[in-house]
Amino acid sequence: MSMRYRIIANPVADKGGSGKILPAVEKELKAKGLNYDLVKTRHPWHAADLAQQAVAAGYDVVVAAGGDGTVNEVINGLILAKDAGLGSAALGVIPIGQGNDFCFGMQLPTNWKAAIEVLAQGQRRLIDVGCIRGGLYPAGRFLGNGAGIGFDASVNIVSRGLKLTGFLSYFVAALKTLFLDFHTPKMEIILDDKTLVQETLMVSIMNGRRMGGGFLMTPKSQPDDGLFDICIADKISPLRALTIIPSFFNGTQAVHRKVIHFHRSRRVTVRALTDNLPCHADGEVISTRSPELSLEIVPGALELVVSPVRTAKSLKTKKAKQK
């Protein structure tokens, strides 16, 4: 009996761009011989509800076809279904959204045709997820890629109002935020082994590696090590921030060690001692003005359809053929 795939497609991802390529996506799914059906989301959180229904109906793989927000909702639906005793299914992803940062962090293709090939091959691995509580979600919301508190959350909110798409929209939003809405509130940041009290530009709490389609927040993060990787930027001036931002494009921000710091922790609590905290998780708004947010890693919570692992032997064979 062949694997059954439920494709949950968001036709308004990438500011409507995803809907235009869905016919091509379906053509490729059929060409690969996948046993699938496709449903489209109609409103926020619909993907989470559809994912729970798919698990209850016995689908083997539930596929998020959209951007990071669609992936986030499907992750929440899969975990809620499992917790409710409805069963379990693996997560697949067809990246047709704006940032596609989840795929990057999980070492999945960010090209949708290549991603469908991965689905057809069907290899799986267990990954961690995070759970964030506070703001609009006092009972908690799960995340796959990461959460941003402070500057990067403000950037995410500003980018939503721009007509631009992809990485360019985040970059322009970062510049606008720097010079029009720049805050470095005093925060208390509680980690497993230490507590920091400082004026802070941003706290990025990552399970993946990248945000905003091109900002490598934590280049060494691993999604199956049972830990968040955390990047904290101290209080700096807008002009200094402008000189540091380019280092995030290639993940070399560690050279600015006086103001950029990395940590690992299973739990993170951030409290605003002045002002309040804007926050996003996987690009979805968690709060615009929250006094406190807490996060916890959930090890091995999700099965993900991934690219086949290339062994050392296969890599040597490939190199020999290239010669």
Domain assignment present for 321: no
Domain assignment present for 128: no
DSSP 275: S
Locus of tokens 């704006």: 98
pLDDT at position 6: 98
170 and 226 part of one domain: yes
104 and 189 part of one domain: no
106 and 222 part of one domain: no
Residue 134 pLDDT greater than 90, yes or no: yes
Query: What is the total count of domains within the chain?
Result: 2
Domain assignment present for 250: yes
- Asked if residues 249 and 263 have their Cβ atoms less than 8 Å apart, the reply is no
282 and 258 part of one domain: yes
73 and 166 part of one domain: no
241 and 95 part of one domain: no
Bridge partner list, 297: 130
Rg of the chain over Cα atoms, rounded to whole angstroms, equals 20
97 and 159 part of one domain: no
Q: What is the DSSP string of 24-67?
A: HHHHHHHHTT-EEEEEE--STTHHHHHHHHHHHTT-SEEEEEES
Q: Which amino acid is it at 275?
A: D
Q: What is the DSSP string of 60-71?
A: SEEEEEESHHHH
DSSP 14: G
Residue 167 pLDDT greater than 90, yes or no: no
| pLDDT, tens digit (0-9, with 9 covering 90-100), for 254-310 | 999 999 999 999 999 999 999 889 999 999 999 988 999 999 999 999 999 998 874
pTM given for the model: 0.92
142 and 165 part of one domain: yes
pLDDT at position 1: 58
Residue 159's pLDDT band (boundaries 50, 70, 90)? confident
Cα first-last separation, the chain: 41
Domain assignment present for 313: no
CA dist 270 and 265 (Å) reads: 13
CA dist 253 and 245 (Å) reads: 8
Residue 203 pLDDT greater than 90, yes or no: yes
pLDDT at position 160: 80
Bridge partner list, 91: 62, 304
Domain assignment present for 308: no
Q: How far is CA 15 from CA 10, 98, 162, in A?
A: 10, 8, 10
DSSP 132: E
Tell me the average pLDDT across 239-259. Answer: 95
Q: How far is CA 133 from CA 153, 192, 268, in A?
A: 16, 17, 11
Tell me the average pLDDT across 186-200. Answer: 97
Give me the chain's average pLDDT, please.
92
16 and 104 part of one domain: yes
60 and 166 part of one domain: no
CA dist 274 and 39 (Å) reads: 45
Range of the domain at 40: 4-121
Residue 233's pLDDT band (boundaries 50, 70, 90)? very high
Q: What is the largest CA-CA distance in the chain?
A: 61
CA dist 219 and 5 (Å) reads: 32
CA dist 13 and 87 (Å) reads: 28
pLDDT at position 181: 77
Residue 318 pLDDT greater than 50, yes or no: no
Among the candidates 93, 121, 149, a domain finishes at 121
pLDDT at position 121: 94
State the burial class of residue 201 (Cβ atoms within 10 Å of its Cβ: 0-12, 13-18, 19+). Answer: buried
Domain assignment present for 311: no
- Poorest-pLDDT segment among 46-50, 62-66, 241-245: 241-245
Among the candidates 81, 101, 121, a domain finishes at 121
Domain assignment present for 55: yes
110 and 137 part of one domain: no
3-class DSSP state of 190: strand
Among the candidates 76, 91, 121, a domain finishes at 121
CATH number of the domain bearing residue 21: 3.40.50.10330
3-class DSSP state of 134: strand
CA dist 101 and 109 (Å) reads: 10
Bridge partner list, 302: 127
Tell me the average pLDDT across 67-89. Answer: 97
